[in-house]
Structure 1
């Protein structure tokens, strides 16, 4: 009789919480949002990716779609040059705040230094920009952003996080960009040790933006990749592939063969 009573209680518990538990589990397992596969039959860059030149006086880094070691990727070739390869971004950062990507560089820059304007170059960078509601910005900051956009165009963001492959600063180094305190720099990879092969990355963009700018209602607006050598005049070849967003507790969805 006692055993039967426990069985009845167990069934009642399952019936009472079962649907809610299933709904919660379904909501927690967010579907990955793929934003950069670069799969194409030609070297043409797939829509909606576009080359964005921040300064028309600076030569543009060249980009092409390719297969690199069997991966559908974009190749960046920099020669004293700078331009972003960018696309607009519409991602629910509450559901999928983690950006995953693969990248590689074929060497390290020699003269770069992220803390100096003259050294503001990176073998590779992944750049996420955010828009913020006007009420989240004080009057002084709104005026500062308006001035910046009058000088450099609409590409000046409300806030941005740059994940960079640096030449000398330790992984985990954080600083603001040498030109603007609206762009936070995060050293995601550094030095020559893992050059010449695909390396996988994972970063919570909301957590990193919050560390830099405080707890604000961030809305993702643009994703960009770049190889940037206009300040140092150096040469670099870099690649990017398989960019996607996942939930905070979900694994990245890479194809096989990338170094962790």
Structure 2
């Protein structure tokens, strides 16, 4: 994917967030229920908040997401470039958008791998894909997650970090070409976890 930051026809993003396009435009809009609904049609774009977060004070990243249904995905492996699409993902970024320095963790809803699975992103090896909801994850109900970001950077990147520079959400289908919709309660940081931690394998 090629990063392209530009104005789009999307709804106005929430305060302090902006739209970031990689390939086409995933549409984001605020629903009457107060969640941000994403609709991807062979597209990959997200909402990002660029703001330094002190992990010593607020190490826990908390969010919720849901989807009314899961798409009819192609058979392409999620660990390949051809299959690198997700119904929902939340990610945290260290070192901003500098390609050779950026480190990221993508927390994803996987269609084929169980929670606790992880692998380097096929496009950018410095980004680790971490499954928090797997193929058995039921469409319909809200699911809430809390992650200790400093601990995850140590585990997945072997880095001691005391801050991160950005957080983002994205629903993307640019590689598989399907239509996918998910709704997000935007991620936030806190001193304590706000949701029960999902089991890890």
- TM surpasses 0.5: yes
Q: CA deviation at 1:244?
A: 1.8
Q: CA deviation at 1:192?
A: 5.1
Residues 198-223 of structure 1 show CA distances to partners (whole Å, capped at 9, x for unaligned) of 11111111111111211333531111
* 1:8 corresponds to: none
Q: Pick closer, same or farther for the CA change 1:216–1:99 going to 2, 3 Å.
A: same
Q: Pick closer, same or farther for the CA change 1:215–1:59 going to 2, 3 Å.
A: closer
Q: Could you list the runs of 5+ residues in structure 1 that have no partner in the other structure?
A: 1-42, 133-153, 255-260
Q: Cα RMSD over matched residues?
A: 2.2
Q: Pick closer, same or farther for the CA change 1:177–1:253 going to 2, 3 Å.
A: closer
User: SS at the partner of 1:83?
Assistant: strand
Matches within 5 A, 1:12-161: 44-54=12-22, 58-68=23-33, 72-109=34-71, 110-111=73-74, 113-131=77-95, 154=97, 156=99, 158-161=102-105
* 1:204 corresponds to: 148
Assess if the C-alpha contact under 8 Å between 1:108 and 1:191 holds in 2: no
User: SS at the partner of 2:35?
Assistant: strand
TM-score, normalised via structure 1 length:
0.65
User: SS at the partner of 1:162?
Assistant: strand
Q: How many residues align?
A: 184
Cα distance in 1 for partners of 2:69, 2:98 equals 29
Runs (4+) of structure 1 moved beyond 3 Å? 154-157
**Residues 1:252 and 2:161 are matched in the alignment:** no
Q: CA deviation at 1:155?
A: 6.1
Assess if the C-alpha contact under 8 Å between 1:108 and 1:192 holds in 2: no
Q: Pick closer, same or farther for the CA change 1:102–1:178 going to 2, 3 Å.
A: same
User: SS at the partner of 1:244?
Assistant: strand
User: SS at the partner of 2:151?
Assistant: helix
Cα distance in 1 for partners of 2:160, 2:61 equals 19
* 1:9 corresponds to: none
- Compare the two structures and name the one with the higher helix fraction: 1
Q: CA deviation at 1:107?
A: 2.7
Assess if the C-alpha contact under 8 Å between 1:130 and 1:218 holds in 2: no
Q: Could you list the runs of 5+ residues in structure 2 that have no partner in the other structure?
A: 1-10, 197-201
- Compare the two structures and name the one with the higher strand fraction: 2
Which has the larger Rg? 1
Cα distance in 1 for partners of 2:102, 2:162 equals 9
